Amino acid sequence: MGKVIHCQKVVPQSGCPHSVRGATVEEVLKNAQEHAKEHGITQVTPELIERLKSFIEDE
Ligand SMILES: [Zn+2]
């Protein structure tokens, strides 16, 4: 089973339809950090990681 983060749930005001996927928690977090750059977020803080973790869903 893979992991997924729906961008719109993390940043509802973005209206971003992108979903970040990965086989593991580590992978989906890595991909989410890559995707965050598209939103101008280049500084990935421990707080952001924790926030992203709380939005990880199984699919
Ligand atoms: Zn997005």
pTM: 0.90
Question: Which two tokens mark 46?
Answer: 């421990």
> How far, in Å, is the centroid of ligand 1 from the Cα of 1?
22
Place of tokens 């992108």: 18
For 9-58, the DSSP string reads: HHSGGG----EEEESSHHHHHHHHHHHHHTTT-----HHHHHHHHTT-EE
pLDDT in tens, 7-19: 999 989 989 999 9
- Residue-level pLDDT at 29: 97
Extents of the domains making up the chain: 3-58
pLDDT in tens, 16-52: 999 999 999 999 999 999 999 999 999 989 999 999 9
> How far, in Å, is the centroid of ligand 1 from the Cα of 46?
19
- Residue-level pLDDT at 47: 94
Q: pLDDT-based confidence at 1, cuts 50/70/90? A: confident
